[in-house]
Chains A and B, each alone.
Chain A
């Protein structure tokens, strides 16, 4: 049974702040911050944007791009660590706003930055079993970093939505396989009612990000009997510009394979949307027959690896919604004071 992507869409708020502007406010050394993180600027949500509005705009772009009848969608899973309500699913708002309600199942997912890819896997299962026609998986976040914390330099806002189906004539990319690796690793967390997450400092690198991505990626390569050389593109979770390059190199992927999917440099870390936006940037340029390798990472911790093969249908739908480079070009810079107001860091 085949399963794959029928359409995709993304959304990034148009405001940006330069990392150097944040560093100046905290009296930090601009060169060492931007050089160390390899992030130049990040997206900032408007005052009236949150995870729900970003999820809706991403989903609408996916529906418009593929010319999808929303009543065909039988399930919506929205992954985020910044759902606007503690109790009341973001997916209910999405379902109504895209015209998919009421005959469908909806739930919100949480798994730090990989909740969106967990949504893709859940949709795959329901679609493959024939229980639903199409499933919609969304990763969306308005990420929070405490003022002055290292996270503040990269925590950004954005979303990506993928419509999953099984009809071979409708797929723009077939999903050849998926493999997950999950352990109890306390590298990053946020307790109920706390405004900002806590993290384990140096602990976030080796035993968390690198171990989980490497294990999931190797697991999938072994299962599919493929090697990095079999892929045209690869994309990994991007908490900064350094980690994805390092993990790619250690697995044997080249910079030519991963550069097109690196979006963190100009958007920041969009958490649940991170590698899903990177995948969208690759789908914007990939050709029929190209193979794409993707591995997400969510603190806590786990990774989901995927292997995609692009079909000849992708060309036909590509221009139906804004590309990542369109979203990249549409921007307006804000200063730290405006940014703080947007993020609610200063209560006016």
Chain B
């Protein structure tokens, strides 16, 4: 991951900032600037997701890219947020503890780093709620 690419996504990674359409009530994560339901009639507003949700499905990651491998093997899940959108996130728990339907809440953790001299990437992970 490049430093500029990471930096542009800091607010969504740190605080789960997405958007919501005031016209139809749909939530978007990652954020959308145009509502596909309402098109021109949509009224998009920034929205901070609470970060509470449920594990829809998961996989155990055994091999991660360099800088993101310190915790392997770890569970990576698709989380359905309570507001509706789904996102991919790491769940911090034992590999035999994670289950489909498990309730989760957000936590601020290190995502990885560019070696010992590079930048440290922080962001949101999930823990059992």
Contacts and interface: CB of A to CB of B under 8 A. Distances in A.
| Co-assembled chains A and B | yes
Interface of A: 46-50, 52-53, 56-57, 60, 84-85, 93, 96-97, 99
16 contacts: A48-B70, A48-B71, A48-B109, A48-B125, A50-B110, A53-B109, A53-B110, A56-B108, A56-B122, A57-B108, A84-B120, A93-B122, A96-B11, A97-B15, A97-B108, A99-B15
Contact of A85 (B10, B70, B71, B120): B120
A47 B70 CA distance: 7
Contacts of A48: 70-71, 92, 109-111, 125
B71 A97 contact: no
B68 to A, nearest CB: 10
Given A46-B92, A48-B71, A48-B125, A96 B110 contact: no
B10 A60 contact: no
Contacts of A85: 120
Interface string B48-82: 10000000000000000000001100000000000
A143 B111 CA distance: 21
Contacts of B71: 47-48
Interface of B: 10-11, 14-15, 48, 70-71, 92, 107-111, 120, 122, 125
A149 B11 CA distance: 41
A49 B125 CA distance: 11
Contact of B122 (A46, A60, A97, A99): A97
Contacts of A57: 107-108
A57 to B, nearest CB: 6
B123 to A, nearest CB: 9
Given A47-B71, A48-B70, A85-B120, A96 B111 contact: no
Nearest to A344: B70
Contacts of A97: 14-15, 108, 122
A48 B125 CA distance: 10
A56 B14 CA distance: 10
Given A48-B109, A48-B111, A60-B108, A53 B122 contact: yes
A53 B108 contact: yes
Given A49-B110, A52-B120, A96-B11, 5 more contacts: A53-B122, A84-B120, A93-B122, A97-B108, A99-B15
Given A48-B71, A56-B108, A96 B92 contact: no
Query: What 4 A-B pairs are tightest by C-beta distance, nearest first?
Result: A48-B110, A48-B109, A56-B108, A97-B14
A84 B122 CA distance: 11
A56 B70 CA distance: 21
Given A47-B71, A48-B92, A96 B10 contact: yes
Given A48-B70, A48-B71, A53-B122, A96 B108 contact: no
B109 A49 contact: yes
A186 B125 CA distance: 41
B48 to A, nearest CB: 8
B6 to A, nearest CB: 12
B2 to A, nearest CB: 17
Nearest to B111: A48
A46 B107 CA distance: 12
